[in-house]
Structures are given as structure tokens and as C-alpha cells.
Structure 1
Amino acid sequence: MTEAASPPRAAEATSPLPAALPGGPSPLGRPLARAAAVTAALTAAGSLCGLLRDQTLAHLFGAGSETDAFLVAWTVPEVAATLLIEDAMALLLIPAFSVALSVRAAGPREAGDPVRALLAATLPRLCALLAGAAALLAAGAPLVVRLLAPGLADPGPAVDCTRLTALTVLTFGLAGYFSAALRAHRSFVAPAAIYVAYNLCIVGTMLALHSAWGVRAAAAGVALGGAAMVLVQLPYALGQLPRPRRRRLRLRRRTRRAAGTRVALGLGLLAPVVCFTASRQAQVLIERFLASSLPAGAISRLNYAQKVAQLPMVLSLMVCTVTFPVVARALADGEADRARRRVERDLTLAGLVVLPGAAYVIACAPQIVEVLFQRGAFTAADTAATASVMRVYALGLLGHSLVGALIRPFSAAARTTWYPAAAMAAGLAITLLAGVYAVRWWGVPGIAAANAAGITATALLMLRGLGSRVVAIEVRRVATGLGRLTLAAAAAAATGGPLAALAAPPLLVAAAGALLVPAVFAATALTLRTPEVRQLLTAVKGKLADAR
């Protein structure tokens, strides 16, 4: 699955939320700021639980044919989460519920509750559609596995796992629906907690059933975790609905039709987003397709490398998630210059967050993998292979962060544009063509290199297209700032690289790298006169002084 900013000024950098922008007050009030802080904490907890899930999978099953089979089936919840929870569903339903809430507040009570009308018009049909899709996917699991990973020597376990994970098409759809409805009601805690419940359910099921079911226990955990996502939110969702009066039990047909029309009107905006999201997720499908023809364990090493290397990207995108409403509000108010400044800051801040993390991953990859995974069935050979893949994959982290950051202002414009989807399709073509050739002479690291090349090309295309189509950002200035940060990251990675060769405990080496790499990055960035780093350090010093 998916926003960062250019360096904030000192006032902005002291808070995880965007400060007031020139030209108007911050649209984030204190209650929303608290909700955003809780959301960030629960999102981080969900990521840590996801890391625990991967560690448990590595400990119980290593990086071999069993984990390959599960990760082929894992493609289903990966795609379902992106489409049904994180992107498409939210972009469609949050505005629809917001309109219904507005009508409820302003309309006569005798006309019926528009929120209930919207539910009646959409939820039953959605459940029927998703249940049918899940059943079809489970029935066609052998064909799906053959298409996703034709090179598997024994597709049987992958087919069994796919049939179990197919249930997430229904449960993730319901979880995404409830998440959108709750966020529209300004209820953020339960939607942010779903990945904590999901990952803990997977871990518990694996520990309880692995001896009897093998890797199928992980797939069963995915199926149960999807149900847990729904159950976590259900009490809150029911609590947002007022008890219907007897005279309003029967909703007017016209009201239901109007609610359904509002949703249909969003499909024109949704189609490009779905195509963009599906194309981005297709990178994973291409990687697993190519890796399936390599020796057992190739898919698993790609997965472990990606999950760890992507953590800096996730942190950078959390920043943009908070600033997205600021950009949308500025564009809606016709304040293009305000939106431009915010987007430029966000793009640079994305680089400021992700590039030191990428440098650290490149410098200390073997120690990171050994500390996190090397136990049980995960051997030293698996560590060496995964670390080499992770270092190559880290080369594309800036591209991944920029793509996640750039799609926000494209979407904030609230008008149909196919440019991001076209840019993603071009990057996907590069990933496919480069991967076909690179895998022949470089194996799994070649697949990671193709991923980095494709996503970087997409980021460059989107950066160029944003200025001419949505927000007139100064592309040259943004590129110059990111270039300086990239040079600083290269220097930090080169300085920290020799640590990996030290004959010292891996935890000690990883801890030393966590101190050395950011320090070198900051010093180099200051030498290159990168203003964002100077502003960030000034803000940190100010906070430390206030704490005294």
C-alpha cells in the first residue's frame, strides 16, 4: 500500500500538525489536533504490530516455499486494503456521508434521516457485491495462483491460503465503509485502531495453529483479522445512528434514490484514483510474478525487505496525511499561492524524513535484518540475501514517498484528472521491462532495482505534471532542495557503511548506525546550506529549551 512536506518553519516544526499558513488561520482546531495525534499513535502501533507479525512469520516459517505460498495469497488482502480501506472507498464515501450529515443538520426531521437513507442505498448492495467477489475469488483460487506465481513448484498451499484470504474482500470492504462513515462523523479512534486488531489477530492465530495447520495458520489469521477490523468499529458505527422514530422507519424512496445518486456522482472522480491505486499495487504483483520463477524463498525475501525498508516512507506519508486537508481547503477557497507553499513544504519534508531512513537502511541492512528476523527457521543465509535486497529497494524510497505525497494535491483539486494514473502506468511499464531483464542476471536484487527505477520515474513525471495541471509549484526549487538532501543521504550511507563490517553484536552496530547516520546527514545538509535542516534543528533546540 501510500505525503510529506518541505521543511516547515520553526513554528510549524514544533508540532506534528501544520501551523497556521500565511493568509489565514489553521483549519485544524484543537479537537482535531488531538484526534490526529491519537491517530498517529495508533497508526504507529499498527505498524509495530505489523512488524511483530512479520517477525513471527519469519520465526515460524523462515524464508522458503511455505512463506512464498502464503505471500502469494497475501496479495489479496494487500490489494483489498489499498482499494477498500485506504484510498478509493474513503475518497468516495467520506464526501457522501459529509453531505448526508449536512442535510441532516439543515433539513426537516419529517423528511427522514439522510444518513440512514445513504446506508440503505449503499450498504446492502455493497455487501452483496463484495460477498459475491469473495466467493468468486475463493472458487477461482487455483487460477489466481497460477496467474500470480506460475513458477511455484507446489501451488497447493498457495491455493488453500488464497481461499482463506479471499474473505478479506468482504471484511475489508465493510471495515473501509465503517471507517469512512466514522471519520465523516469526526470519530477517528476506532478507524485508526483496525490494523492493531488485525495484526494481533494474525500473530495469535499463527502461534496457536502453526503446528497443526502450517503456513495456512497465517492465512486463517488474515481471515479472522479482517473480521476483527469490522468488530472493532461496529459499536462506534451503531452509536452514531440515532434511534429511528416509528414514523420514520420507512424511508422515502425518493430520499434513498437521492442518496444513491450522490454516491454515483463521485464515480467520475473515483475512476482515476482506482486506476492509479491499482497500477501502484501492480508493482507488487509484477515482483512476485518474476520472483516465482526463482529458487524458493525469493518472494519471502522481497517481502521482508520491503516491509522493513518502507518504514521511513510510512513516517514521511503520515506528515502529508495531516496536511492534506490544508491543501484541499486552500484550493477550495481559491488560494492557489497558499496551496503552492504548503505543497512545496510537504514535498521537501518528505525527503527530509525518508532520506535519512533510507541511508540508515543502506548502511546497516545486515544488522537490521539479523536483529529483527534471524531466529527460528530464518537462517543467516536468509539474512544476507534479504539485506542485499533491502539495500537496493531503499534506493527507491524517495520515489515512493514523493508519489504518495504528490497524489494528495492531485486529489485535493476535486476534479477528474487521469495524469497520475498515466504517470503510474509509465512507471509500471519501466518496472516490468527492467525487471524482466534484471532478474536474469541479478536475481531478486534485480527485481528490487526495477521497482526503484519505475517508482522514481513516476515521481518525476508527477512532480512535473503537478505544476502545470493543479498547483503551480516551483519545480526547480523543490528539485534543488531534494537534490541537496539526496547528497546528504549518500554521504551518510557511505559513512555508516563500514559499520556493517565490524565484528560486533548486531544490536550494538544497529544502534551505533542509528546515531551516526542521522548525524552525518544533518552535518552534510548544513554544509550544503539546506535551509530545511537548519530550521528543523532550530525548532528542536527551542523545544529542548522550553522543556527545561
Structure 2
Amino acid sequence: MTTDQPVAPPAPATATATAEVPAPRAAAEPARRGFLAKAFGVTALLSAAGSGLGLLRDLLLARYFGANQGTDAFLVAWTVPETFAPLLIEDAMAFLMVPAFSLALVLREERPHGPDPVRQLTRSTLPWLLLALCTLSGAVALGAPRLVDLLAPGLADPQLAVTCTRITALTILPFGVAGYLASALRALHSFTAPAVIYVMYNLGILALLLSGHRLLGVRSAAIGVAVGSVLMAGVLLLPFARRLRSGGRRRGLRRGAARRLVLIPLALLPVAAFTLTRQAQVFIERYLGSGLPPGTISHLNYAAKVSQLAMTSAILIVTVTFPVVARAMAAGDFTAARDRVEKDLGQAAALVLLGTAFLMACAPALVALLFQRGAFGPADTSATAAVIRVYSFGLPAQAMIGVMVRPYFCVRPVVRRADTPRAEGDRTTWLDWYPVGAMLLGLAVTVAVGVGATPHFGALGLAAGNAAGITATAALLMRGLMLRGVALRLPRVLGGQARLLAAALAAAALGWPAARAAADPLPAALLGGGTVLLSFAALGALFGAAEVRGPVLGLLARARRPQPAPVPSPAPSTAAEERPHGR
């Protein structure tokens, strides 16, 4: 199924815009809300399936290989797909290509004749991308020994890590193709095929794990990652080709007279640098964790995977609404972009804080329920649950960064109009590098806390450094958004965040003793999770958090609404029933 937005892009904002909503935008709002709800539903359903398969993948890894030097070696190699998946699929590629394709769509609507800007954009960017991806994949495979030594110098089995790294290096090309095609499809308001990619990815890994874990050991997981990446790209080729053909042939103007798009190579640098510095937190953890007892890196990995489950819904919100923000900013409507970002911040915070409260209350029961079997024992459960609770302090900041960083790169897409002066369109400014600077300062906090706390607290010190660094980055990005033209109403935003945080803290405090009241993991998780959910909903509504109060009041109103009495079907009459009584 393809979800298409049935409304035109917003008109550019003017300096004299008032608080009133223009009539066309007001008329389009219900249709846009319906489109976003439909797109979110499709994306959520398929992403939930992908997350479920990813969880099964982690369960099998824990069951077959446990937490030892073998899994540590594989997880060092998994740094390659962990780095390039955000870089080439979700973050950098989306930051670059969603605004670029959004601008192409604006140009298509401004001038319906002449060469199609969407096709022209594809011709000017895709060949260069394929060349760069092939070169990068080969470089990573050749440099695998040096890379392993840099990432984890204290690793017990470096040769196994080198072998797995060379296998996972093959993922770079299909990751890049998948990210490019997914970004284009989302900008074209097609969300179904991009949401399927992680289903295919995890199916490939699971197939190799199930069939090859006895013969190949942990190498089967590395081969599965490579196979899954190829499936990701393959599932997008046909939908992209179909959407590209749907633009049709356009005539009426010569190619030189059309308002074409020109590639800006320098625009790639701030986006790539931000994504790499954001992923560098994983590098820091692996580097410092390699000097700790065997299994520490595995505990950190399992804890991160469970913690990220709380981020899934927030990521879905950003995925669906990013093309809307990019389209508004391409058209110059910064007011619409600000309103969308503020709404996304509130909705993402509500979902992530609910998940954070659940993890705080039920982490031991959840880890025991998911992982404690086979080679994964009670000691691993205790260590992983403790790391999850520390990680959880940084989850709200991670959600905020996912929402706030997108407008930074919408202003400077990877392409410009051909009629824009070169000096104005091709140079980067310090504002383009502001997210990178914020992330570098956050990394400095991560390193300082990690180096200082790891000798005393081990993996917990690394998790604390992660949470502290990502929170510092979120604060800097929020402050800098107004420099990009998206002037958030900070008292309104921070007030809403504070109400949600208070509700989450209270819900976690109530859910913790409820989870401890049950001895078995499943009842403990259900009892603690139910308590957290009900408490968060009640307290969020009581505190006036709009993101909670609205849905709660809607559910209560629906429950109180009287149901229409069923109308009985008329029974066939008889002669006796038609006679008056007594006759």
C-alpha cells in the first residue's frame, strides 16, 4: 500500500504573517492529519514487525553464543553496520535526500513543463553515490585488521573480529542504495516499502543464524547481516522505479531553460560529520569496554537493544513527519515547520518517557524474560538490567535530537536551484556545522564521564557517560534551532516536557514495587508494565500534558458515550397476536 498526501505544499510564509491560520492551510489540515495518521499506521505496523524480528535475532544471539569473547568479537565487527546503517539509511542519507527530493517536488509543481526535476536529481546523484559506496566498502574490508585494533585493542580474539568485519563491510553498498531509495520514496509520500526494509534485513540474519550457527559459529550472524542488507535494497527497487515512471514525460521547455537542480558536494560534509560523531558514542563504549572483563561489550549491546525499543515509536513519528517539515521549509513556510517540530517534540517525549518509566521499573524482569536461557545466565541478566536503567536517563534526549536535528539540514539541501548564485548556494557556513559542534561537545562529556567512572563502576560508568553526553547535545541543539529560522516557543516546549517527565518519574516509582511483587519474569513485567501505563496516563492527564490528556479524555468520552439500543427485527405476526386481548 502506498500512502499519498492529497494536499498541495504550504505557501511560503511572509514577514507579516499573523497567528491566524490562512484559509487554504486550515482547509488542508484535516486531509494532512489523515495522511499522517495513515502513514504512521502503516509505518508503525511494519516497523513493529521489523523490531520484533530484530528482537528475535538478539534472542538467538544470546541463546546460541551467550556473552563471551566470541560475541564480543562479532559485536566489534557489527560496529560497521551499526555505523553505516544510521549514516546511509536513517540519518545522513535522509538528511540529504529527503530535502533534495522535496525541493525537486516543489520545482515540479512550480513549472509543470520541461524535464522532470525528480528524474534529473536521480541522474545527477545516484551514479556518484554508487561509486563512493563501492570504494568505501573495499577500503573497510582491506583495513579490517587496523580497524579492529583501533576499535577494541584489548579484544581476546581479534582474528575472529577481523573475519567478521570483512564480511560486514559488504553491507555498505546495499545500505547506501536502500537509504537513497527509501529517502526518495518517503519524500514522494510512499511509506510502505521503506518500512519493510528492516523486516527483510532481520529475515536474512535469522535465516543464516538458524541454518548456520552450528557449522559457522558467530560468523553465521555476520554473513546474515550481509545477506539481509542485500534484501533491504532489493525490496525498494521496483517501488522506486514505479514512482519514478509515474511522473510521466514532460514537454514544452528545453533542458537548458528548465529550473534544474545542481549538486552541492560540500553540503555532504556537515551531515556526514554529524552522523559519524553521533555514532562515535558506540566507538567510545567499545574502546573502553574492551579493557573490561569479557562479556562487558555484550552486556552493553543487549542493554542498548532493549533500551532502543522505547525509541521505536518516537523514530516512527520523525520518519513520517520529516517530509512534511522538509516540504514546508523548501517552500519557505518556517511557521508551519516550527509548529510541526513542536508537536513532534511533545509526542515523541510522551512515548519515550512512557517506555523509559517501564524500563526503570521492570528492567530485570524484562531481561530475564527475553534473554535468560541457554548461554545467557542470571549474572548476565543482572548486569544487563543495571546498564538498561542507566541508559534510560538518556533516552528522552535521544528522542529530542531525532526531532530537532532535521530542520538544520532542511535549510541546506544537497542540491540547489540552477538559478541560485554559486557563491550563495555552494558555500557552507558555521550554522551548517552547528549540529557537529553540539555533538562534539556531547562526546567530550561522554569521554570525561566514561573515563572517570569506568574504573569504579565498569559498564555502568560507560552507560552514564552515554546518557550525560547525549543530554548535553540535546540542550545545545534546542538552543540553536532559532538560528536556523525555527524559533521554538521554549517556555511552551519545556513546560510540556516537564509535565511529561514528572508523570514518568511517578509512574516508574509506582511500577517498581509492583514488578517486584511477582517472582516470575512474565507476571512481573505484566504487573509492573500495567501499573506504569495506568499511572502515566492518569498523572499525565492530571498534570495537564496535552499529549496524554487528549488521548485519555478521548477514550473516556468514547467509553461514556451511550450505545444505541439494537432495533429488534419485526417478528412475523400471527392471527392470534393480531386479535385484541379477550376476544
Identity among equivalent pairs (%): 51
**C-alpha distance in structure 2 between counterparts of 1:364 and 1:510, whole Å:** 6
**C-alpha distance in structure 2 between counterparts of 1:541 and 1:178, whole Å:** 42
Deviation by residue 1:348-385 (Cα, 9 ceiling, x = unmatched): 22222111211110111000001111111111111111
Correspondences of 1:121-520 after superposition (within 5 Å):
121-240=124-243, 242=245, 262=261, 264-265=263-264, 267-332=265-330, 335-414=333-412, 417-502=432-517, 504-520=519-535
Amino acid paired to 2:170: L
Distance verdict in 2 for CA 1:137–1:499, change over 3 Å: same
Cα deviation, residue 54, structure 1? 0.8
**C-alpha distance in structure 1 between counterparts of 2:188 and 2:342, whole Å:** 30
CA RMSD of aligned residues (A): 3.1
Q: Is the 8 A contact 1:22 1:338 kept in 2?
A: no
**C-alpha distance in structure 1 between counterparts of 2:402 and 2:34, whole Å:** 26
Distance verdict in 2 for CA 1:264–1:547, change over 3 Å: farther
Deviates more, 1:535-544 or 1:503-512: 535-544
Cα deviation, residue 538, structure 1? 1.0
Secondary structure of 1:167's partner? Answer: helix
Q: Is the 8 A contact 1:410 1:470 kept in 2?
A: no
Structure with the higher fraction of residues in helix conformation: 1
What's the counterpart of residue 4 of structure 1?
A: none
Whether 1:85 aligns to 2:89 is yes
Q: Is the 8 A contact 2:47 2:196 kept in 1?
A: yes
**C-alpha distance in structure 1 between counterparts of 2:102 and 2:542, whole Å:** 48
Q: Is the 8 A contact 2:400 2:474 kept in 1?
A: yes
Distance verdict in 2 for CA 1:502–1:98, change over 3 Å: closer
Cα deviation, residue 528, structure 1? 3.7
**C-alpha distance in structure 2 between counterparts of 1:180 and 1:545, whole Å:** 43
Deviates more, 1:38-47 or 1:365-374: 38-47
Q: Structure 2 length as normaliser, TM-score?
A: 0.81
Distance verdict in 2 for CA 1:220–1:263, change over 3 Å: farther
Distance verdict in 2 for CA 1:239–1:509, change over 3 Å: same
Cα deviation, residue 35, structure 1? 4.0
Distance verdict in 2 for CA 1:263–1:187, change over 3 Å: farther
Aligned residues, how many? 518
**C-alpha distance in structure 1 between counterparts of 2:192 and 2:448, whole Å:** 43
**C-alpha distance in structure 2 between counterparts of 1:474 and 1:233, whole Å:** 39
**C-alpha distance in structure 1 between counterparts of 2:291 and 2:297, whole Å:** 10
**C-alpha distance in structure 1 between counterparts of 2:515 and 2:108, whole Å:** 61
Deviation by residue 1:436-460 (Cα, 9 ceiling, x = unmatched): 1111100001100110100111111
Q: Is the 8 A contact 2:98 2:326 kept in 1?
A: no
**C-alpha distance in structure 1 between counterparts of 2:562 and 2:141, whole Å:** 56
Distance verdict in 2 for CA 1:484–1:38, change over 3 Å: closer
Distance verdict in 2 for CA 1:322–1:288, change over 3 Å: same
Unpaired segments ≥5 residues, structure 1: 1-20, 249-253
**C-alpha distance in structure 1 between counterparts of 2:353 and 2:372, whole Å:** 26
Amino acid paired to 1:451: N
Q: Structure 1 length as normaliser, TM-score?
A: 0.86
Deviation by residue 1:18-74 (Cα, 9 ceiling, x = unmatched): xxx944222737566534432222122111111111111111111111111111111
Distance verdict in 2 for CA 1:506–1:163, change over 3 Å: same
Amino acid paired to 1:423: A
Cα deviation, residue 123, structure 1? 3.1
Distance verdict in 2 for CA 1:539–1:412, change over 3 Å: farther
Cα deviation, residue 540, structure 1? 2.6
Deviates more, 1:526-535 or 1:511-520: 526-535
Q: Is the 8 A contact 1:364 1:499 kept in 2?
A: no
Q: Is the 8 A contact 1:49 1:196 kept in 2?
A: yes
Deviation by residue 1:60-116 (Cα, 9 ceiling, x = unmatched): 11111111111111111111111111122233334545566777886767x7x7666
Whether 1:522 aligns to 2:537 is yes
Which structure is higher in RCO with an 8 Å CA cutoff and minimum separation 6?
A: 1
Cα deviation, residue 401, structure 1? 1.0
Cα deviation, residue 146, structure 1? 0.5
Q: Is the 8 A contact 1:63 1:301 kept in 2?
A: yes
Amino acid paired to 2:318: C
1:56 is aligned, of 57, 60, 63, to 60
What's the counterpart of residue 7 of structure 2?
A: none
Distance verdict in 2 for CA 1:181–1:162, change over 3 Å: same
What's the counterpart of residue 76 of structure 1?
A: 80
